[in-house]
Amino acid sequence: MSTSTRWLLGVGVAIAAAIVFAVVVALTVGDEQSFADGTPERTVQRYLEAVAERDASAALDFISPAVLDECGTIPRDAITSRRDARFRATLDETVPRDGRVDVHVTITESFGDAPFNGGESTWPLVLELTQEDGVWRFTQLPWPLYCTPKPERAPIVPAR
């Protein structure tokens, strides 16, 4: 076998090994864990998926009706107008407390174009859920939604 043939064979083996390595990495790294249906973690996961997809209607389906009633109109632009912001969430822990569950996550939001015009922010977030009619729902508006409370009516004062 000549030197050039051995060299070409070596290059071919190296390329094949790189392709196999890339396929293995792609199959093992890219999968996110999907939590079991009916768990508070799955509700948080589905809510955050709706936020990532900018689907405010789907996201609001996970909010307790009492919260929706208390807030009145909830601005949807916090979800629908996220521009180029992207985020990822990491489940830290789930803490049961007196009929509710606190799901602790870490949110990392990135925006702009890397490497020079991009930025990133990371913060902890506690999402409070309770089970209503067998479904886990948020008992407070979760990030990035915010509540604009209904205006209180002024008391009626009788004329004198």
The range of the structural domain enclosing residue 105 comes to: 39-149
pLDDT, tens digit, 9 for 90 and up, residues 66-90: 999 988 888 899 898 877 789 999 9
Does residue 14 lie in a domain region?
Answer: no
Does residue 22 lie in a domain region?
Answer: no
Does residue 34 lie in a domain region?
Answer: no
**CA 41, 43, 47, 52 torsion-angle sign:** positive
pLDDT, tens digit, 9 for 90 and up, residues 103-114: 999 999 998 877
The domain total for the chain is 1
pLDDT of 115 above 80: no
Query: Distance between CA 43 and CA 36 in Å, rounded?
Result: 9
CATH, residue 78: 3.10.450.50
pLDDT, tens digit, 9 for 90 and up, residues 12-67: 555 645 564 444 444 434 456 899 999 999 999 999 999 999 999 999 999 999 99
0.75 surpassed by pTM: no
